[in-house]
Chains A and B, each alone.
Chain A
Amino acid sequence: MSAPRKSFSALAENFGPPLVFLAVTLIFIVAAYGYPPTSREVPLLIGYVLIVLIALDILSRTSTSTGELVRRYLNPASGLPGVPKSAGDEGEEHPSGQKELLAVGWVAAFTAAVMIVGILPAVPAYVASYMIVEGRKSVKFSILIAASIALFLWLSFEMILSIPLYRGMLFE
């Protein structure tokens, strides 16, 4: 059986995640060598074990016979890409990449807004604009919901618990 030439994106989808883990582990290992021996012992132990585990994961993602063996014993539930996965709560079909990026982008924008202008302006602005733009809700209704959430946060944190809400880098 001749394997079809895999596209770059399929390869990235398959080998990307373990390579990211590998990169994270290597960063920690390199950093660990900067600490005194007693401080780096345990992190290094974990780091090197991780490298072995990640190597096994990479192996299990190849369609070699060794990969097949690793998969059967250590990861039976995850198949090769294209092979249907076993049904699990976390393994269900995912929304398209563009929609995902948009969804994450909204939260990223909100996080940035909070950091820059502070919580009290950012919260109603985010809630209302999301509801209007994404949800196509009426402007009046969106503003009502946005305002009541901001009011609730202000009342409970600032007034009752006397936790000052973050004012943003611009106003600190």
Chain B
Amino acid sequence: MNKLLAALITCAGMVTAPVAMAADFPAKNIQFVIPVSPGGGFDTYVRAVAPIIERHLPQSVNIVPTNIPAAGGARGAAQVYRAKPDGYTIGIFNIPGMLVPQIRGDSDLQYDLKKMTWLGSFGQDGYGVGVPTASPYKTVADLKALDRPVKFTASGPSSTAYSATMIATDMLGIKREIISGYKGSNDYVLAVIRGDGDAVIGPLPVMEKFVESGELRIIGTFEEKSSVPGAQNAVEMGQPDLSKLSVGRLVAGPPDLPPEVAKTLSESLMAAMQDPAMATWSKESGIAVEPGDAASAKGILEGQFNFYERYSKYLGPAN
């Protein structure tokens, strides 16, 4: 009986703990959920940034990157969504990758991005159009002028790369045929270089690697100001809205995170992103870091929701 009582008291203690805890947060290790397998871009990112965030937390604890792949990332997202709102479980989110299933209404989706506590943004990668160096097409207008469908390479129809290709070709008025099923951005950009297709629409950092090796030419970027010399930007192509096509790396915790805990996490994230060590890493890895606070993360999310809801017919079949 005494034991039972003791157990009950302990349980009660655990329930009231968050209140007492907010002040001395974090008191134990923080789990940073990566909803993909080791080896992907998001994994590399979290593993690089975790030790830097540790340095900026008010208490010295570890940030433990934990891969939870499966169901196209939905399982990892659900894990964060369902976690106790105490700040000890946060996750990185691919936006629009995790957002598209929600708009599309995939079955058994156990998270709601709109309810999560957004903590910050590591930045967004823009998209662009690339062709093999030897290609006769110099501008997007050349592709548009073709009297046959242009073959684009992309990953599967449920992927964001596929939706991005559908949406962009539609906005630009290019007749398209999509060769789908490649396993990720490296693969489908390599495929167009190999001659599997005529052109590719993909994230700029990936394409830039192939530009550097001399195999690819970027003929248009979906940015307001083109970062690639010689490539048209979204405005010049007549579709400023194209800049909404991007891959964002956003950080969130479960819904209803106590404000003080969210503030601590958000500020440490921000400080880490502005740390010189992060700048060095970014320069060497070629992965851009654009620090964004909680408010800007929330803003990005809402902007993306609006954009993709408008193009929901291109989001592929629901799973």
Give A contacts to B, CB under 8 Å.
36, 162-164
Contact = CB atoms under 8 A, between A and B. Distances in A.
7 contacts: A36-B317, A162-B64, A162-B65, A162-B66, A163-B66, A164-B31, A164-B66
A163 B38 CA distance: 12
Contacts of B317: 36
A163 B64 CA distance: 9
Contacts of B66: 162-164
B75 to A, nearest CB: 13
Contacts of A162: 64-66
Contacts of A163: 66
In the A-B complex, list the 3 residue pairs whose CB atoms are closest, starting with the nearest: A162-B64, A164-B66, A162-B66
B221 to A, nearest CB: 33
A165 B267 CA distance: 31
A162 B65 CA distance: 8
Interface string B40-72: 000000000000000000000000111000000
**For the complex, would chain B's binding face be called helix, strand, loop or mixed by DSSP majority?**
strand
Contacts of B64: 162
Contacts of B31: 164
A165 to B, nearest CB: 12
Interface residues on B, range: under 10
A110 B6 CA distance: 31
A43 to B, nearest CB: 16
A164 B32 CA distance: 12
Contacts of A36: 317
A164 B65 CA distance: 11
A36 B65 CA distance: 39
Nearest to A36: B317
B268 to A, nearest CB: 20
A164 B317 CA distance: 34
Interface in B121-153: none
A151 B65 CA distance: 23
B89 to A, nearest CB: 11
Contacts of A164: 31, 66
A36 B64 CA distance: 42
A97 B201 CA distance: 59
Interface string B64-88: 1110000000000000000000000
A162 to B, nearest CB: 5
Nearest to A163: B66
B199 to A, nearest CB: 23
Interface in B151-205: none
Interface string B238-272: 00000000000000000000000000000000000
B156 to A, nearest CB: 11
Nearest to A35: B317
A164 B67 CA distance: 10
A77 to B, nearest CB: 39
A164 B66 CA distance: 8
B106 to A, nearest CB: 16
